[in-house]
A and B are shown apart, each in its own frame.
Chain A
Amino acid sequence: MSDPAPTSSTTTTGGSADNSGGSEAGGVPIILQGVTKKYPGTDAAAVDNIDLEIGAGEIVMLVGPSGCGKTTTMRMVNRLIEPTSGTISIDGEDVLSLNDVKLRRTIGYVIQQIGLFPHLTIEQNVAMVPKLLGWDKSRISTRVEEMLAVVGLDPHEFAHRFPRQLSGGQQQRVGVARALAADPPIMLMDEPFGAVDPITRTRLQDEFLNLQQKLRKTIVFVTHDFDEAVKMGDKIAVLDKGSRVAQFAAPEEILTSPADDFVAGFVGQGATLKRLQLERLDSLDLHQSSRSTHDGVTPLPVRSTLHDVLDAMIADGRDELPVEKDGQLIGTVTLEDLLDRVRALREEADGKLSRRGDETGGVA
């Protein structure tokens, strides 16, 4: 039948454009130019002249206070909200020239309320978009099984259940599977993990990042949680009222050199600690130590973030901890290493934006 994701045929990065054989389509770029949404009867535009370039295969986080227009901005990409003016293009194609219903079938959509169809089974929920696209039955059922497995749900156990028989976390896994079912090059996610408990949220975030490493979709991810933005984003767009882009940069850059006071305020306290969440042990030179004084201490996996390392040091009351990789001790890390790294990061940031350097230190 018809190509499930027409816009993916000219994939620019990542996966292959052939999505008939089970290989996933990678993302495509999205470009917003002068996009404005003004509701009749209001003076201020909900979204005022936003420009945003989202690269193929990137997770771009739209983060900002309530009412800043981040959700409106996202919803204009699949035209759930029609822009008043401006252009939005996906993979070079102007979305305003497309049929809105067909456009949405090529864009994954995940929302905080999850919105599973309560009267349909998990299988039927996940199958919905492929069905709308007219896939044949056997292809749909293979795909549904595959997608449930991808999000960590056993198809045999869950396919024939109804949404109310699942926990919140499981429901959102289904929500993600449903959005990915037709292999869209783009995903729009509106606070997708906002309604689950913190432990489940962390796990869903981690799993989603793993998944994204394979899929390389272009993802527009709305959140009001800056920590989530730092964790999930390849880039973060910090939005102020009217979707004014206060800063659009990689998380590291926003943490070390916020563009203005608004961004600095949004980053909040503890920017340096947050920054440490982005650095992993394998970015440091470890000390080779033959001492056997670490006998009682659990070694840290080399994939730990520096934040975890610092936490462990404080918890254990030690300034040196062993590091392991695949069960083998590969060295030790010291508190001094962490402080050196923080100093280096700050110098790096000062180099980039010398005027802002002191302020960053002040915020930290």
Chain B
Amino acid sequence: MSAAVDLLSDPDGRDTKLHQAPSLLTWRDLGIPLLCTAVVVGELYYLSQVTLGASQANILEIDNLVLLTREHVVMTLTITVIVLALAVPFGVLITRPRFRWLASPVLALGNIGQAAPIVGLLAIIGSFVFGFWPVVGMIAAFSILPVLRNTIVGIEQVDVGVKDAARGMGMSPMGVLMRVELPLAIPIIAAGTRTALILAVAVIPLGTDMNAGALGELVFAGIKLNRAESLVCGALLIAVLALLVDWASGLAQRALTPRGIR
């Protein structure tokens, strides 16, 4: 008889032992920074050993490398802030009942936009304007799409039962959004942001022609001077930066994801 069955242990008990909460940082997470450090140290050592022409020596000066890297990082961060500040609120708005009909057209438009070659766009824009903001604006406009799409998808994939329960127990629409929908959409929004960030790091060098500085200068100088050292150094630093940004945003994604769904 069922009365004899222990009330506390359901027969379909899936996991009655406490989960070991996954720790935020593991030894494996140190691999990428270690690799990147090794690459940078190796490259700097190499540069200190070879004799460089006057033109290259200037540009490969350590102070200049730091400056260009910093420019690259600042541009990346600026783009990230712009993208998040625009894409997340807009994505949220589009998932509200009143604007839901906009979701499909916006996503379709977004996909078309993403298919357009950014190099071409930069070249076109570059023939009219120069400098930091046009490049940042251009790349931000381009990077908004993955974040926007993931915000919409992230909010829409939240289980209908969970949303129904939230409404049914008396959460306001804003409460459902802030307490339920957004927290549960974070992993997906963060994944989109990660894609956008790496895209930005990789595309920023193409803005060098528009006088926006950053690590692209090394690459383009190398091409113009027909010198491998500068080109390789620029390419390596960009790659290292992209890896580190991916690594850091991966950690951030994990840290921001609520523990219960991690």
Contacts from A to B (Cβ < 8 Å): 78, 80, 101-107, 109, 111-121, 128-129, 132, 152-154, 161-170, 175, 178-179, 188, 196-197, 199-200, 202-203, 206-207
Contacts and interface: CB of A to CB of B under 8 A. Distances in A.
B2 to A, nearest CB: 6
Contact of B259 (A103, A119, A200): A119
Contacts, number: 123
A80 B169 CA distance: 10
Interface stretch (B5-13, B133-141, B217-225): B5-13
A109 B19 contact: no
Interface in B155-174: 159-172
Contact of A165 (B12, B18, B160): B18
Contacts of B166: 115, 117
A132 B172 CA distance: 10
- A-B interface, 6 closest residue pairs, ranked by CB to CB distance from nearest: A113-B161, A115-B165, A105-B170, A119-B258, A109-B168, A104-B170
A114 B159 CA distance: 11
| Most chain B CB atoms below 10 A, which of A107, A117, A170 | A117
Contacts of A121: 260
Contact of A197 (B5, B11, B164, B180): B11
Contacts of B63: none
A197 B5 CA distance: 15
B169 A111 contact: no
Contacts of B13: 167, 170
B35 to A, nearest CB: 33
Interface of B: 2, 5, 7-8, 10-16, 18-19, 159-172, 175, 179-180, 183-184, 258-261
B14 A166 contact: yes
A106 B170 CA distance: 8
19 contacts: A78-B168, A106-B170, A111-B161, A111-B165, A113-B161, A113-B162, A114-B161, A116-B162, A117-B165, A132-B170, A132-B171, A153-B8, A161-B18, A167-B15, A168-B10, A170-B13, A200-B10, A200-B11, A206-B2
A111 B19 contact: no
Given A132-B169, A162-B259, A169-B11, 5 more contacts: A114-B161, A117-B260, A167-B16, A170-B13, A175-B165
Given A111-B165, A117-B162, A203-B7, A102 B19 contact: no
A203 to B, nearest CB: 6
B7 A152 contact: yes
Contact of A129 (B8, B12, B160, B170): B170
Contacts of B261: 118-119, 162, 164
A7 to B, nearest CB: 13
Contacts of A164: 260-261
A115 B170 contact: no
A117 to B, nearest CB: 6
Nearest to B180: A117
A152 B16 CA distance: 14
B11 A199 contact: yes
Contacts of A112: 161
A116 B180 CA distance: 10
Nearest to B161: A113
Contacts of A115: 159, 161-166, 168
B175 A203 contact: no
A120 to B, nearest CB: 6
B170 A202 contact: no
Given A102-B170, A170-B10, A196-B12, A165 B19 contact: yes
Contact of A104 (B19, B160, B169, B260): B169
Given A80-B164, A129-B170, A197 B12 contact: yes
A188 B170 CA distance: 13
A178 B166 CA distance: 11
Contacts of B179: 117
Contact of B260 (A129, A162, A167): A162
Nearest to B17: A165
A163 B19 CA distance: 11
B12 A119 contact: no
A163 B2 contact: no
A331 to B, nearest CB: 21
A170 B165 CA distance: 17
Nearest to B173: A101
B260 A120 contact: yes
A112 B160 CA distance: 11
A117 B261 CA distance: 10
A157 B8 CA distance: 10
A80 B170 contact: no
B170 A203 contact: no
A106 B163 CA distance: 18
Given A80-B168, A120-B260, A161-B18, A113 B7 contact: no
Contacts of B19: 161-162, 165
Nearest to A152: B7
Contacts of A129: 169-170
Contacts of A152: 7-8
Contacts of A168: 10, 12, 14
Contacts of B16: 167
A37 B10 CA distance: 40
